[in-house]
Amino acid sequence: MQKGFTLLELMFAIAIVGILAAFAIPAFQSTVQNNQLVACANKLVAAIQYAKSEAIGNRQTVLVAADAASAIQPAFRVGRDPDGNNQVEDGADLLQSFACDGGNAISMTPTPTITFLSFAPTGFRADGQGQIVFRTCSITGNGRDMTVTTGGGVSSVDTPDGGC
């Protein structure tokens, strides 16, 4: 007596695996995009908290600025601005940079439209732009809102349905 599978049984098993994969792959891609969205929001929160900490620790104004030159978007730079142009240049002024993963799958829009925010040595915001909300959206329509208060506090919540 021979043991093993017939060709028909093998084809049936492969068909079942293919059907299961057809349902699992889209769900997995959605999970990956949602994780990239949350990671991007967390990177912005980390950049803001790092800037606040550095401003207090070094007793000088520290910026969080958009990094338009980065190949990965959204991206941010944290550092000093001795020339007052509201940008963090390469070199000694750059303390750290943050970039989101996900390529074009993630977008970020600040309200009001800004390119930087800054923290004074007291830890409070020094840019005079009021409360800022950063909305991060994925191509799946999910999103996170990060609110930065004038006192330097940061909170992050899911966007309301239809927000992205």
Q: Would the pLDDT of 111 be above 80?
A: no
Q: Where are the domains of the chain?
A: 7-158
Residue in the structure block whose two tokens are 């996900």: 102
Phi, psi of 49 (to 5 degrees): -65, -35
Q: pLDDT, tens digit, for every residue of 12-70? A: 999 999 888 888 787 777 788 888 888 888 888 889 999 999 999 989 999 998 887 77
Give the span between the Cα atoms of 37 and 105, in whole angstroms: 9
Give the span between the Cα atoms of 96 and 46, in whole angstroms: 11
Q: Would the pLDDT of 151 be above 80?
A: yes
User: How far, in whole angstroms, is CA 16 from its chain's centroid?
Assistant: 38
CATH superfamily membership of 7-158:
minor pseudopilin epsh domain (3.55.40.10)
Nearest to 107 by CA among 49, 44, 21: 44
Confidence (pTM): 0.77
Lowest mean pLDDT among 57-66, 88-97, 154-163: 154-163
